[in-house]
Amino acid sequence: MTLIDRDFLRTTIRTRRRELSSQAQQHAARQLVTHVVPFLQKHQARCISLYLACDGELDTQPLIEWCWQNEIKVCLPVLHPFHEGHLLFLSYTPDTPMLLNRFRIPEPEMNSSHIVPKHEIDIIFTPLVAFDAEGNRLGMGGGFYDRTLENWQQTGRPFPVGLAHDCQQVEMIPTEIWDIPLPALITPSRSWQWS
């Protein structure tokens, strides 16, 4: 499999998810909460990382609000200011000042006292473009989450869980050596677990 196949998949599935109606998006976001809440309870999660949806991604806003109301600390990814290709995780509350990053995705304004070390995060919910029935994940192409998750299996933390629309499932992801497969993934209709 070649990188060209990966780019073709990215373009095709990004278009597919962008074409979901806003009604379908809202329904999906509410359905997601019904699957994620029992998962958080089972894992006794106290601190999780989510993302703010862009480009037709599954909307996490209702889930974020549930977490705020239930004393689960929420973090968001922030592009590392010096370490190209890497993410930092900053805590996110209703009062957090936000800025647009270079991909025009809102992220918390840099504030070193709000950085949450990766080992303090129980679960990292990752955005993704496409997934397959084996837990392989294809992202937007920056390698940000592959780098973030490269050592997670050594300690089992932070536990990665993909979030996606059902229509983002594909027959097979052409994988590369650096890809980190997901041990779990949640869509609006079901949960997948591979570990």
Ligand X SMILES: Nc1ncnc2c1ncn2[C@@H]1O[C@H](COP(=O)(O)OP(=O)(O)OP(=O)(O)O)[C@@H](O)[C@H]1O
Ligand Y SMILES: Nc1nc2c(c(=O)[nH]1)N(C=O)[C@@H](CNc1ccc(C(=O)N[C@@H](CCC(=O)O)C(=O)O)cc1)CN2
Interface residues toward ligand X, by CB under 6 A: 138-147, 150, 176, 178-179
What span, in angstroms and rounded, lies between the C-alpha atoms of 114 and 110? 8
Question: Residue 174: which residues within 8 A CB-CB, separation 6 or more?
Answer: 1, 2, 5, 6, 9
Q: Closer to ligand Y at the Cβ: 17 or 73?
A: 17
Residue 178 interacts, among ligand X, ligand Y, none and using kind-specific CB cut-offs from 5 to 8 Å, with: ligand X
Partner touching 52 among ligand Y, ligand X, none, CB below 5 to 8 Å by kind: ligand Y
Strand partners, 60: none
Residue 77, binding choice from ligand Y, ligand X, none, Cβ under 5 to 8 Å by partner class? ligand Y
Q: Does 56 belong to an annotated binding site?
A: no
* Assigned token pair, 144: 């940000």
Site string for ligand Y, 115-154 (x = CB under 6 A): ------------x-----------xxxx-xx---------
Q: Which of 18, 34, 50, 6 is nearest to 161 (CA)?
A: 50
Burial of 141 from C-beta contacts in 10 A (0-12 / 13-18 / 19+): exposed
Asked if the peptide bond before residue 158 counts as cis, ω within 30 degrees of 0, the response is yes
Which residue in 20, 47, 54, 115 binds ligand Y (CB under 6 A)?
54
Q: By C-alpha distance, which of 117, 127, 114 is closest to 160?
A: 127
Residue 85 among known ligand-binding residues:
no
Q: Which does 105 bind (CB under 5 to 8 A by kind): ligand X, ligand Y, none?
A: ligand Y
Is 138 known to sit in a ligand binding site?
yes
d(CA 20, CA 176): 29
Binding residue positions for substrate: 52, 57
Positions in the binding site for ligand Y (CB under 6 A): 51-54, 57, 77, 87, 103, 105, 127, 139-142, 144-145
